[in-house]
A and B are shown apart, each in its own frame.
Chain A
Amino acid sequence: MAATLLSPRRIRKNRLRWRRCASGRTVYAYVEGNPVMKFDPAGLSSLCFDRGSGIMSVYDKDGKLVDSYPAANNVTRSSNGPWPDGTYSYSHYNRHSESGKTGPYGSHGIHVFDVPKRSGMGVHSGRSGPKSKTLGCVRTDDESMEKLNKLHKTDPLKSIQVGGPCPG
Protein backbone atom coordinates (compact mmCIF):
# COMPACT_ATOMS: atom_id res chain seq x y z
CA MET A 1 0.00 0.00 0.00
CA ALA A 2 2.84 2.33 0.94
CA ALA A 3 4.52 1.67 -2.42
CA THR A 4 1.54 3.12 -4.24
CA LEU A 5 2.14 6.45 -2.48
CA LEU A 6 5.69 6.76 -3.81
CA SER A 7 6.37 8.35 -7.17
CA PRO A 8 8.51 6.36 -9.68
CA ARG A 9 11.24 9.01 -9.21
CA ARG A 10 11.23 8.46 -5.44
CA ILE A 11 11.38 4.68 -5.91
CA ARG A 12 14.43 5.06 -8.21
CA LYS A 13 16.10 7.32 -5.64
CA ASN A 14 15.48 4.82 -2.84
CA ARG A 15 16.78 1.96 -4.97
CA LEU A 16 20.01 3.87 -5.61
CA ARG A 17 20.35 4.60 -1.91
CA TRP A 18 19.94 0.92 -1.01
CA ARG A 19 22.44 -0.06 -3.69
CA ARG A 20 24.99 2.26 -2.08
CA CYS A 21 24.29 0.62 1.30
CA ALA A 22 24.65 -2.84 -0.22
CA SER A 23 28.01 -1.86 -1.76
CA GLY A 24 29.35 -1.15 1.74
CA ARG A 25 29.21 2.64 1.62
CA THR A 26 26.95 4.11 4.24
CA VAL A 27 24.77 7.05 3.26
CA TYR A 28 25.26 8.36 6.81
CA ALA A 29 29.08 8.63 6.71
CA TYR A 30 28.82 12.27 7.80
CA VAL A 31 27.50 11.07 11.20
CA GLU A 32 29.71 7.97 11.33
CA GLY A 33 26.80 5.72 10.35
CA ASN A 34 24.64 6.80 13.30
CA PRO A 35 22.02 9.35 12.18
CA VAL A 36 19.90 8.86 15.33
CA MET A 37 22.49 9.59 18.01
CA LYS A 38 24.80 11.93 16.08
CA PHE A 39 24.26 15.01 13.90
CA ASP A 40 26.18 17.05 11.37
CA PRO A 41 26.70 20.39 13.12
CA ALA A 42 28.56 22.24 10.35
CA GLY A 43 27.28 20.77 7.09
CA LEU A 44 29.49 21.03 4.01
CA SER A 45 32.87 22.72 4.40
CA SER A 46 35.10 24.66 2.02
CA LEU A 47 38.80 25.40 1.59
CA CYS A 48 40.58 28.64 0.83
CA PHE A 49 44.24 28.78 -0.21
CA ASP A 50 45.94 32.14 0.27
CA ARG A 51 48.95 32.32 -2.04
CA GLY A 52 50.44 35.35 -0.30
CA SER A 53 50.51 33.96 3.24
CA GLY A 54 51.00 30.28 2.31
CA ILE A 55 48.02 29.28 4.42
CA MET A 56 45.11 27.04 3.50
CA SER A 57 42.03 27.53 5.69
CA VAL A 58 38.97 25.39 6.08
CA TYR A 59 35.52 26.86 6.84
CA ASP A 60 32.20 25.35 7.86
CA LYS A 61 28.98 25.97 5.89
CA ASP A 62 28.39 29.26 7.73
CA GLY A 63 31.83 30.56 6.77
CA LYS A 64 33.27 30.07 10.25
CA LEU A 65 37.01 29.31 10.29
CA VAL A 66 37.57 25.73 11.49
CA ASP A 67 41.32 25.18 10.96
CA SER A 68 44.37 26.45 9.02
CA TYR A 69 47.29 24.58 7.46
CA PRO A 70 50.61 25.54 5.85
CA ALA A 71 50.37 25.16 2.05
CA ALA A 72 52.05 26.25 -1.18
CA ASN A 73 51.57 26.07 -4.94
CA ASN A 74 55.21 26.10 -6.09
CA VAL A 75 55.31 24.54 -9.52
CA THR A 76 58.08 23.16 -11.72
CA ARG A 77 59.25 25.11 -14.78
CA SER A 78 58.01 22.41 -17.15
CA SER A 79 54.50 22.28 -15.63
CA ASN A 80 51.35 23.82 -17.12
CA GLY A 81 51.62 26.54 -14.49
CA PRO A 82 50.19 27.13 -11.02
CA TRP A 83 46.58 26.46 -10.06
CA PRO A 84 44.61 29.38 -11.58
CA ASP A 85 42.96 31.75 -9.08
CA GLY A 86 39.22 31.17 -8.65
CA THR A 87 36.64 29.02 -6.88
CA TYR A 88 36.20 25.39 -7.89
CA SER A 89 33.82 22.57 -6.93
CA TYR A 90 34.90 19.39 -5.24
CA SER A 91 35.30 16.35 -7.49
CA HIS A 92 36.55 13.33 -5.54
CA TYR A 93 39.03 11.84 -3.10
CA ASN A 94 41.65 9.32 -4.16
CA ARG A 95 43.60 7.36 -1.54
CA HIS A 96 46.70 6.74 -3.74
CA SER A 97 48.08 4.22 -1.27
CA GLU A 98 51.13 3.66 -3.53
CA SER A 99 52.57 6.98 -2.33
CA GLY A 100 54.40 7.00 1.02
CA LYS A 101 55.06 10.00 3.25
CA THR A 102 57.81 11.38 0.95
CA GLY A 103 56.16 10.09 -2.23
CA PRO A 104 54.56 12.47 -4.75
CA TYR A 105 51.23 12.70 -2.86
CA GLY A 106 52.12 11.87 0.78
CA SER A 107 50.38 9.26 2.92
CA HIS A 108 46.85 10.67 3.13
CA GLY A 109 45.64 10.78 -0.47
CA ILE A 110 44.36 13.64 -2.61
CA HIS A 111 41.24 15.80 -2.66
CA VAL A 112 40.62 16.62 -6.33
CA PHE A 113 38.65 19.61 -7.65
CA ASP A 114 37.10 20.44 -11.03
CA VAL A 115 39.23 23.12 -12.69
CA PRO A 116 38.23 24.08 -16.25
CA LYS A 117 40.99 23.51 -18.83
CA ARG A 118 43.18 21.75 -16.25
CA SER A 119 43.35 18.10 -15.15
CA GLY A 120 44.11 16.45 -11.82
CA MET A 121 44.16 19.62 -9.73
CA GLY A 122 44.17 18.58 -6.11
CA VAL A 123 45.36 19.14 -2.57
CA HIS A 124 47.86 16.67 -1.14
CA SER A 125 51.03 16.37 0.94
CA GLY A 126 54.26 14.46 0.20
CA ARG A 127 57.98 15.04 -0.60
CA SER A 128 59.52 17.51 1.90
CA GLY A 129 56.29 19.37 2.65
CA PRO A 130 54.47 22.42 1.27
CA LYS A 131 57.51 24.07 -0.37
CA SER A 132 58.27 21.02 -2.54
CA LYS A 133 57.30 21.68 -6.13
CA THR A 134 54.26 20.20 -7.86
CA LEU A 135 52.94 20.23 -11.44
CA GLY A 136 49.90 22.32 -10.48
CA CYS A 137 48.56 20.92 -7.18
CA VAL A 138 48.50 22.68 -3.81
CA ARG A 139 50.78 20.90 -1.36
CA THR A 140 50.42 20.87 2.41
CA ASP A 141 52.06 18.62 5.03
CA ASP A 142 51.10 15.09 6.09
CA GLU A 143 49.78 16.14 9.51
CA SER A 144 47.46 18.75 7.95
CA MET A 145 46.17 16.25 5.38
CA GLU A 146 45.34 13.83 8.17
CA LYS A 147 43.34 16.54 9.98
CA LEU A 148 41.63 17.58 6.74
CA ASN A 149 40.61 13.99 6.01
CA LYS A 150 39.07 13.61 9.47
CA LEU A 151 37.08 16.78 8.91
CA HIS A 152 36.04 15.69 5.41
CA LYS A 153 34.53 12.50 6.86
CA THR A 154 32.11 14.48 9.01
CA ASP A 155 31.73 17.65 6.92
CA PRO A 156 32.46 16.81 3.28
CA LEU A 157 34.38 19.44 1.31
CA LYS A 158 32.32 21.16 -1.37
CA SER A 159 34.71 23.73 -2.87
CA ILE A 160 38.10 25.44 -2.84
CA GLN A 161 38.93 29.08 -3.37
CA VAL A 162 42.45 29.54 -4.74
CA GLY A 163 44.39 32.80 -4.63
CA GLY A 164 43.12 34.63 -1.58
CA PRO A 165 42.90 36.68 0.46
CA CYS A 166 40.84 34.34 2.64
CA PRO A 167 38.40 35.51 5.31
CA GLY A 168 40.00 35.67 8.78
Chain B
Amino acid sequence: MPWMSSLFVLLLLLVGCSARTGEQLGACSKEQALIAENSVGRITSWSDLERFFNAHESCDDGLIAEGVSDRVGHLLESDFDGFIDIAGSASKSSFAQFVVKHLDESLNEDTLHSISRRADSCDGINEICKTLRIRTQAALDALADP
Protein backbone atom coordinates (compact mmCIF):
# COMPACT_ATOMS: atom_id res chain seq x y z
CA MET B 1 0.00 0.00 0.00
CA PRO B 2 2.29 2.80 -1.20
CA TRP B 3 -0.46 5.46 -0.72
CA MET B 4 -0.52 4.65 3.00
CA SER B 5 3.20 5.33 3.41
CA SER B 6 2.80 8.61 1.46
CA LEU B 7 -0.07 9.58 3.74
CA PHE B 8 2.09 8.73 6.77
CA VAL B 9 4.96 10.94 5.48
CA LEU B 10 2.48 13.76 4.78
CA LEU B 11 1.07 13.45 8.32
CA LEU B 12 4.60 13.54 9.79
CA LEU B 13 5.36 16.71 7.79
CA LEU B 14 2.13 18.36 8.96
CA VAL B 15 2.83 17.49 12.61
CA GLY B 16 6.40 18.75 12.23
CA CYS B 17 5.24 22.03 10.68
CA SER B 18 2.61 22.66 13.35
CA ALA B 19 5.11 21.86 16.14
CA ARG B 20 7.60 24.30 14.60
CA THR B 21 4.96 27.01 14.33
CA GLY B 22 3.99 26.44 17.97
CA GLU B 23 7.61 26.64 19.01
CA GLN B 24 8.19 29.88 17.06
CA LEU B 25 5.12 31.61 18.44
CA GLY B 26 5.45 30.12 21.92
CA ALA B 27 6.81 31.66 25.09
CA CYS B 28 9.90 33.82 24.94
CA SER B 29 12.86 32.21 26.75
CA LYS B 30 15.21 34.24 28.95
CA GLU B 31 17.95 33.93 26.32
CA GLN B 32 15.60 35.08 23.53
CA ALA B 33 14.45 38.01 25.67
CA LEU B 34 18.03 39.13 26.23
CA ILE B 35 18.77 39.02 22.50
CA ALA B 36 15.55 40.94 21.76
CA GLU B 37 16.39 43.49 24.47
CA ASN B 38 19.82 44.13 22.97
CA SER B 39 18.43 44.29 19.41
CA VAL B 40 15.60 46.76 19.95
CA GLY B 41 17.85 49.79 20.43
CA ARG B 42 19.55 49.12 17.09
CA ILE B 43 16.34 49.44 15.02
CA THR B 44 16.75 52.42 12.68
CA SER B 45 14.61 51.49 9.64
CA TRP B 46 11.37 49.73 8.74
CA SER B 47 13.35 46.75 7.43
CA ASP B 48 15.19 46.51 10.79
CA LEU B 49 11.84 46.56 12.57
CA GLU B 50 10.40 43.90 10.26
CA ARG B 51 13.39 41.64 10.91
CA PHE B 52 12.90 42.21 14.64
CA PHE B 53 9.18 41.34 14.29
CA ASN B 54 9.97 38.11 12.44
CA ALA B 55 12.61 37.04 14.98
CA HIS B 56 11.28 38.26 18.32
CA GLU B 57 7.50 38.67 18.17
CA SER B 58 7.07 36.23 21.07
CA CYS B 59 9.19 38.55 23.30
CA ASP B 60 6.99 41.61 22.68
CA ASP B 61 6.48 42.53 26.34
CA GLY B 62 7.84 44.84 29.05
CA LEU B 63 10.90 46.91 28.22
CA ILE B 64 11.29 45.15 24.85
CA ALA B 65 7.79 46.25 23.80
CA GLU B 66 8.44 49.75 25.19
CA GLY B 67 11.54 49.96 22.99
CA VAL B 68 9.51 48.80 19.97
CA SER B 69 6.86 51.48 20.57
CA ASP B 70 9.61 54.09 20.81
CA ARG B 71 11.12 52.91 17.50
CA VAL B 72 7.66 52.87 15.84
CA GLY B 73 7.13 56.48 16.96
CA HIS B 74 10.51 57.60 15.58
CA LEU B 75 10.05 55.74 12.29
CA LEU B 76 6.55 57.13 11.72
CA GLU B 77 7.95 60.62 12.34
CA SER B 78 10.97 60.20 10.08
CA ASP B 79 9.67 57.84 7.34
CA PHE B 80 5.88 57.97 7.33
CA ASP B 81 5.65 57.21 3.59
CA GLY B 82 7.78 54.09 4.08
CA PHE B 83 5.07 52.69 6.33
CA ILE B 84 2.30 53.60 3.85
CA ASP B 85 4.11 51.42 1.28
CA ILE B 86 4.43 48.54 3.77
CA ALA B 87 0.76 48.77 4.75
CA GLY B 88 -0.20 48.57 1.07
CA SER B 89 1.46 45.18 0.71
CA ALA B 90 -0.91 42.27 1.45
CA SER B 91 2.02 40.01 2.42
CA LYS B 92 3.00 42.40 5.22
CA SER B 93 -0.42 42.81 6.86
CA SER B 94 0.62 41.11 10.13
CA PHE B 95 3.69 43.35 10.36
CA ALA B 96 1.52 46.43 9.67
CA GLN B 97 -0.84 45.35 12.49
CA PHE B 98 2.17 44.99 14.80
CA VAL B 99 3.23 48.56 13.97
CA VAL B 100 -0.27 49.98 14.53
CA LYS B 101 -0.52 48.14 17.87
CA HIS B 102 2.69 49.86 19.01
CA LEU B 103 1.38 53.33 18.25
CA ASP B 104 0.42 53.78 21.90
CA GLU B 105 0.30 56.13 24.87
CA SER B 106 3.83 55.18 26.04
CA LEU B 107 5.08 57.66 23.40
CA ASN B 108 5.78 61.33 23.99
CA GLU B 109 2.89 63.72 23.31
CA ASP B 110 4.97 65.65 20.73
CA THR B 111 5.67 62.47 18.78
CA LEU B 112 1.97 61.53 18.78
CA HIS B 113 0.94 65.03 17.58
CA SER B 114 3.52 64.89 14.80
CA ILE B 115 2.24 61.47 13.59
CA SER B 116 -1.36 62.68 13.89
CA ARG B 117 -0.61 65.62 11.56
CA ARG B 118 0.96 63.28 8.99
CA ALA B 119 -2.01 60.88 9.20
CA ASP B 120 -4.49 63.79 8.85
CA SER B 121 -2.81 64.90 5.64
CA CYS B 122 -3.57 61.61 3.85
CA ASP B 123 -6.84 60.63 5.59
CA GLY B 124 -9.43 59.99 2.88
CA ILE B 125 -6.74 59.06 0.35
CA ASN B 126 -5.40 56.01 2.09
CA GLU B 127 -7.23 53.66 4.48
CA ILE B 128 -4.13 53.12 6.67
CA CYS B 129 -3.94 56.90 7.28
CA LYS B 130 -7.42 56.77 8.81
CA THR B 131 -6.33 53.85 11.02
CA LEU B 132 -3.21 55.75 12.13
CA ARG B 133 -5.20 58.92 12.81
CA ILE B 134 -7.74 57.04 14.98
CA ARG B 135 -5.00 55.14 16.79
CA THR B 136 -2.99 58.32 17.46
CA GLN B 137 -6.04 60.15 18.74
CA ALA B 138 -6.82 57.24 21.10
CA ALA B 139 -3.25 57.38 22.45
CA LEU B 140 -3.50 61.16 22.93
CA ASP B 141 -6.85 60.73 24.73
CA ALA B 142 -5.29 58.09 27.01
CA LEU B 143 -2.41 60.46 27.80
CA ALA B 144 -4.85 63.21 28.73
CA ASP B 145 -6.87 60.86 30.95
CA PRO B 146 -4.39 58.80 33.01
User: Hey, which bits of chain A sit against chain B, CB under 8 A?
Assistant: 74, 76-80, 91-92, 94, 96, 98-99, 102-105, 110, 112, 114-115, 117-122, 124, 127, 131-137
B62 and A121 form a contact (CB under 8 A): yes
- C-alpha gap A117/B105 in the complex (Å): 24
A132 and B106 form a contact (CB under 8 A): yes
Total contacting residues, chain B, CB less than 8 A: 30
Chain B 28-80 residues near chain A, CB threshold 8 A: 28, 30, 32-34, 36-38, 41, 59-67, 69-70
Candidates A79, A120, A127; contact of B37 at CB < 8 Å: A120
CB of B134, distance to nearest CB on chain A (Å):
13
Q: Is residue B142 contacting chain A, with contact meaning CB distance below 8 A?
A: yes
* Given A118-B61, A127-B106, A135-B104, 7 other A-B residues pairs in contact with their CB atoms under 8 A: A79-B61, A119-B28, A120-B64, A132-B106, A135-B62, A135-B65, A137-B63
A77 and B70 form a contact (CB under 8 A): no
Residues of chain B contacted by A119 (CB below 8 angstroms): 28, 32-33, 36, 59-62, 64
Residues of chain A contacted by B28 (CB below 8 angstroms): 119
Q: Is residue B146 contacting chain A, with contact meaning CB distance below 8 A?
A: yes
Residues of chain B contacted by A131 (CB below 8 angstroms): 146
B64 and A76 form a contact (CB under 8 A): no
- C-alpha gap A114/B34 in the complex (Å): 11
CB of A61, distance to nearest CB on chain B (Å):
25
A122 and B108 form a contact (CB under 8 A): no
Q: Is residue B101 contacting chain A, with contact meaning CB distance below 8 A?
A: yes
CB of B42, distance to nearest CB on chain A (Å):
8
- C-alpha gap A103/B67 in the complex (Å): 9
- Name the residue of chain B whose CB is nearest to the CB of A115: B62
Q: Say yes or no: A76-B142 contact (C-beta < 8 A), given A119-B33, A127-B106, A135-B69.
A: yes
A136 and B104 form a contact (CB under 8 A): no
B27 and A79 form a contact (CB under 8 A): no
| A–B Cβ pairs within 8 angstroms, 11 of them | A76-B104, A105-B63, A119-B28, A119-B62, A120-B36, A120-B59, A120-B64, A120-B65, A134-B106, A135-B65, A137-B63
Residues of chain B contacted by A91 (CB below 8 angstroms): 30
- Name the residue of chain B whose CB is nearest to the CB of A72: B146
- C-alpha gap A133/B64 in the complex (Å): 14
Q: Which 8 A-B pairs have the closest CB atoms?
A: A120-B62, A135-B65, A120-B63, A136-B62, A120-B64, A98-B41, A104-B70, A119-B33
Q: Say yes or no: A102-B108 contact (C-beta < 8 A), given A131-B146, A137-B66.
A: yes
Residues of chain B contacted by A77 (CB below 8 angstroms): 104-105, 142
- Name the residue of chain B whose CB is nearest to the CB of A98: B41
Candidates B32, B37, B65; contact of A94 at CB < 8 Å: B37
- The interface centre, meaning the residue of B36, B62, B104, B143 with most chain A CB atoms within 10 A of its CB, is B62
- Name the residue of chain A whose CB is nearest to the CB of B67: A104
